[in-house]
Amino acid sequence: MNRALPGAARHVAAAYLPPALPGLDPAWSRLVEADDAAGVTRTWHVLDTGPALAAAGVAPRGTVVCVHGNPTWSYLWRRLLDAATDRALAGGPAWRVVAVDQLDMGFSDRTGAPRGLAERISDLDAVLGALALDGPAVTLGHDWGGVVSLGWAVEHADRLAAVATLNTAVHPGPSEGRDHVPAPLRLALAPGVLGAGTVTTGAFLETTLALAHPPLAPEVKDAFRAPYRTATERGGIGAFVADIPVPATHQSRDVLERVADGLRALEVPALALWGPRDPVFSDRYLDDLGERLPHLDVHRFEGAGHLVAEDVDYASAVLDWLEVVLEPAADAAPEAGDADAVQPLWHHLDARRDDADVALVEMAPPGGAGPRSVSWRLLTRRVDEIARGLVDLGVRPGDRVSLLVPPGADLTAVLYACLRVGAVVVVADAGLGLRGLTRAVRGARPAFVIGARPGLAAARALGWPGVRVSTTDLPGPLARTLGVRASLADLAERGALLADRADALAHVPAADDVAAVLFTSGSTGPAKGVVYTHRQIAAVRDALAAQYGVGPGASLVAGFAPFALLGPALGTRSVTPDMDVTAPRTLTARALAAAVGAADATVVFLSPAAIANVVATSDALDPADHRALAGVETFLSAGAPVSPALLARVESLMPGALAHTPYGMTESLLVTDVTGPEIRAAAADPARGPGVCVGRPVRSALVRISALDATGAAVGEPSDAPGTTGEVLVAAPHVKDHYDRLWLTEHASRRGRTPTSPRWHRTGDVGHLDAQGHLWIEGRLAHVVVTATGVVTPVGPEQALEASDAVARAAVVGVGPRGAQQLVAVLEPVDPPRRPALADDVLATDARSRTPVPLAAVLVVPDLPTDVRHNSKVDRARLATWADAVLAGGRMVAP
Amino acid sequence: MSAHRVLVTGASGFLGRAVATALVAAGHDVRTLQRRPSGVEGVQDVLGTVTDPATVASALDGRDAVVHLAAKVSLAGDPADFERVNVGGTATLLDAARAAGVERFVQVSSPSVAHLGTAIVGADADPADPVHARGDYARTKAAAELLALRADSDRMRVVAVRPHLVWGPGDTQLVERVVERARAGRLPVLGHGAALVDSTYVDNAASAIVAALAAVDRVHGNAYVVTNGEPRPVGELIAGICRASGVRPPAWSVPAGLARAAGGVVEAVWRVRPGADEPPMTRFLAEQLSTAHWFDQRRTRADLRWEPAVTIDEGLARLAPPRA
């Protein structure tokens, strides 16, 4: 069928070789003849690294077969041909790469005849036959080429080593509707649009080329246009679009369904490299692929789009992945802990279901009025009811539930209910900002969203996925506007009615089932989803209990979200102070004292921003407040480093407490711990190295250093040798299971693991261990500066600069190419300038005299950029980019 | 290190004198060729110009090595003069050197031969580009460097050394200009003055050239940028030179774009106007003073087996006028 295509689509022309184009080695180009399905001899243009490998005497272990989509051509795969050749010639694993221009596309024959999906799959088989592939095949497709390549793969499973795809869609959609065909393509198929949009004009081509992030260089755009300069050359673009099987009666629909179903039988390793900013092949098609291929490895490149092959380094990703999945020893994952039974996270709730003692205190519950106390009995019942209600709503084990609920009793109840029914809770901090939150929720693809009104409004406005549940009862019209299916009260009510039905909660999640996806703060790049199993979260609980003695009988005030939720799991009474927990700096000293007093709290958890405000407002404390605070035994500051001076001031407010500052990250919430006295002793040690002392590993954690080489890469074997600077590695039962749909990130974070090694997580922090076993953090691996004379970690020189009375904060960054970088100090003086500038002579000279490393330039700024959440981690990456521009002669704008 | 019989051209210049002095100190037999007496102790001066084949031939008699510095260095002037001296002179010298059996030839060049007007940030020595280099000096020096490297052979080993922004006591190019203009209140900072620039203290440039002569058998055919390896914001470098020379550093600034435009106008005016004085600003200078140009020195230092001995701070201290 050839609906409404202009005559140009019936033009016949012979294949030819492309002209010289950027990034394209002419030696790759071949014209290959084979008979198509109808027995007609056709000529294909193919890029092929086979001859070059043969000439170099390299025997490939297999062939990567690349199939472009519409309206691109094999030029899309040039970087893979290049990278694979480089690796093969350098002695690495050798893969031949073959990239075919489909008939009527690129520089292959213009056949003048329409080609359906079935023909395209057999065309591919014909040309691959003529090419005589080396070894087993790995298919790699993009766009509709993904379907063609997977179609060939399911028909030739015996010749297959692996399948990989960039953005594509194999779901044919329900036969009665068009819903599953991407909306922009439905438009392209509209009568009158198809021919004009695809053939007569280059609009479809130009629109596709404009989808790159960042935009394509003009010469690259020209290269993509090269085979499609005239309407006659573009006939295949229109025919390809016309073959999108929208109506159920379409000729290619059966074939598409066969391919989609066939995927379920594929057992070879599978990879999807995905650009989520794709208006056509959105995340739902990725979900569909994952559902068909449960073992699918996924990496979503946040910020990349449809032309993911142009946006990111997909070539190294594919080659790295092949190395790992085809040689399992390279990335073996040691067992995630022993197989022992785990005390479930809700075991205190079960044990205390008749206990009238107070479990939760909310100092300022939503809806106003004074403190609200919730007993263990009530909490257990509430968790139970919501759990049954969730099951009744359709929540199934493994379903993801996004919690956009402010910390407090509601969040606690719904969290434990989700865990109990085996749902996976998705927890993203409002500190990510709306954009970060949207990315996080979209990326985590929850089936359900439970939220307060602002969260639901955002979910509605920004099109977040999932069935919506509100925390409070909403008026009907509003509930409908927000697309809310039910409220928590509805769920609980429904659950109460089902209370006598034993089967509702018959399913108990296993220890190694996934329990939660927590999002990183985003202060070190786009927020990443971190996946924990029940066993691993239970291990977090146990590590906290062991380290700080929090358990039944204790009472904790938590002004820091992740720990606030663990009270019921610890069997501890938890108190939420009167503050906006998502904005820690809103906690006052009086509010803290009131919370402590209300529950005779012995343990206080705060973030640095909260501590700063507590200290700043401590003048308002009255004698009763002071008495309450004097009863605190353990005080923890978590989330970011806090200055020794600030720590000392908050210690003076809680004279009976020992201050601790644990070091950890979303991927391993507890790595080391250090007390106030230890911090002061370390600071006073004349033999101290550079960095911030974060103390000794907690009991269940193992910390090692992977030394940096001269290029700043952390290549050393995990070692506890004192004084060696390198990346910090941690292994513990409470380390995360994996990153969510970030295969490359996960692969990088477990580099160095072997089947017999501990379950290492590479933290991305750099530091060293001292002779006493203390860990010192010297910065982020990504912020290490590589000069001509060696590697410099930033924190040491920054501390030297901050020792000046004139300097409030300092950042040290590198400018120029890695290996020849120059160091630049960016200072926030105590007396800040009105705008960024070069430091004056006196300040620059003083700064240079303080650092042991040479500084090329000293700049002053009114404000150093910091992370949103803690306002304490200096954004060195952003500063480096800024300094690079300014010191190259660019405008002196604010960093 | 073996001693050579070296001809140094342009030894009356600021860098040439330092090179000749350093070669003598290193034990070489040094003859010089330039229009005025070199004033260097322990050398044999031949007076004349590199554009005269007869003078060049006689100066080369018995020499086995050449260090070629003689050039027309200026921000303005008749393009034909640059061509004649910088390209013609180098061609004459190369021909005569080959004929005289010279075995080692050090072409002293300039990083401006590969500077196309955009920022240079940690780059190594890019190929000389006589078509796109900025200004007559850079274009003719680029052509000269290409001639010299093309003359490289097993018989006569040629290396090009490009010292960047050479300064020191007695320097009539950078230091004197900066100081005089600052004293006259005519020295603005271009833009914000933060553009990072490399520079080379004169003794380091000289020792690098001596090192290149010693290394030429290993490294011939290559070009090397030489700097102190201590880039500084241009405003800070100029202020440092002013302070070291007892002059107030400039306090007013001119937007870099404006200076570039003004430089273009001035350049055009100076081209048609008689006189040998220097224009206050050229486009080349404006670019030099407002965009980064600093270099990756790893290959230079490894290949030449050389390290700068005098830091920028030490160099600035040596600029200070002797206290009475």
Span B312-321, pLDDT tens digits: 999 999 987 6
Question: A661: exposed, middle or buried (C-beta count within 10 Å: 0-12, 13-18, 19+)?
Answer: buried
CA-based R_g, chain B, Å: 19
**Where does CATH 3.40.50.980 sit in chain A?**
347-553+564-578
* CATH topology classification for A13-175+256-330: Rossmann fold (3.40.50)
CA-based R_g, chain A, Å: 30
Chain CA centroid to CA B189, Å: 23
CA–CA separation, B260 vs A442, rounded Å?
49
| Catalytic position from the list B82, B137, B167, B306 | B137
Query: Which is more confident, A178 or B229?
Result: B229
Query: Do the beta carbons of residue A650 and residue A589 sit within 8 Å?
Result: no
- The answer to ipTM > 0.85 is yes
Kindly give the parts of chain A with pLDDT less than 70: 1-9, 172-197, 200-201, 245-250, 328-340, 430-432, 522-525, 561-562, 581-582, 868-872
- Show residues of chain B in contact with A838, CB under 8 Å: 192-194, 233, 235-236
- For residue A276 the two structure tokens come to 């989520």
**Where does CATH 3.40.50.1820 sit in chain A?**
13-175+256-330
What pLDDT is recorded for position B257? 65
Q: Inter-chain contact A820–B231, Cβ cutoff 8 Å?
A: no
For residue B187, pLDDT beyond 90: no
CATH code of domain A347-553+564-578: 3.40.50.980
Q: Tell me the residue length of chain A.
A: 895
CA–CA separation, B259 vs B191, rounded Å?
9
Span A220-261, pLDDT tens digits: 999 999 999 888 888 777 777 777 765 556 677 888 889 999
Contacts of A585 (CB under 8 A, 6+ apart): A609, A610, A612, A613, A871
The DSSP bridge pattern shows strands A41-48 and A95-100 to be antiparallel
- For residue A879 the two structure tokens come to 């500063």
- The phi, psi pair for B211, rounded to 5°, reads -65, -35
CA–CA separation, B7 vs B1, rounded Å?
17
- Show residues of chain B in contact with A820, CB under 8 Å: 122, 296-298
- The phi, psi pair for A531, rounded to 5°, reads -100, 130
3 state DSSP class of A628: helix
List the domains of chain B with CATH numbers. 5-164+201-227+296-309 (3.40.50.720)
Span A638-683, pLDDT tens digits: 877 788 888 889 999 999 999 999 999 999 999 999 999 998 888 8
Per residue, the 3-state secondary structure of A303-320, as one string, reads CCECCHHHHCCHHHHHHH
What sign does the dihedral B140-B142-B145-B147 (CA atoms) show?
A: negative
Contacts of B258 (CB under 8 A, 6+ apart): none
Q: Inter-chain contact A788–B229, Cβ cutoff 8 Å?
A: yes
Residues of B with CB under 8 A from a CB of A: 119, 121-123, 191-196, 229-233, 235-236, 239, 243, 256, 290-292, 294, 296-298, 301
Determine if the peptide bond prior to B249 is cis (ω within 30°): no
- For residue A78 the two structure tokens come to 């040039």
What pLDDT is recorded for position A703? 97
A78: amino acid identity, one letter: R
In the residue annotation, B137 being an active-site residue is answered as yes
CATH code of domain A662-782: 2.30.38.10
- For residue B93 the two structure tokens come to 């010298």
**Strand segments (E) across A214-335:** 270-274, 297-300
Question: A335: exposed, middle or buried (C-beta count within 10 Å: 0-12, 13-18, 19+)?
Answer: exposed
Indicate which of B115, B118, B120, B121 best probes the interface with A, i.e. most A CBs within 10 Å of its own CB: B121
**Where does CATH 2.30.38.10 sit in chain A?**
662-782
DSSP for A688-700, please give it: --SSEEEEEEPTT
- Show residues of chain B in contact with A841, CB under 8 Å: 236, 239, 243
- Show residues of chain B in contact with A857, CB under 8 Å: 194, 196, 231-233, 236
B143: amino acid identity, one letter: A
CATH code of domain A784-887: 3.30.300.30
What pLDDT is recorded for position A188? 63
Contacts of A713 (CB under 8 A, 6+ apart): none
> What proportion of chain B, given as a percentage, has pLDDT over 90?
63
**Can you name the residues that pair with A729 across neighbouring β-strands?**
A704, A762
For residue A200, what is the DSSP state? I
Q: Inter-chain contact B194–A841, Cβ cutoff 8 Å?
A: no
Query: Do the beta carbons of residue A309 and residue A335 sit within 8 Å?
Result: no
Indicate which of A789, A815, A818, A822 best probes the interface with B, i.e. most B CBs within 10 Å of its own CB: A822
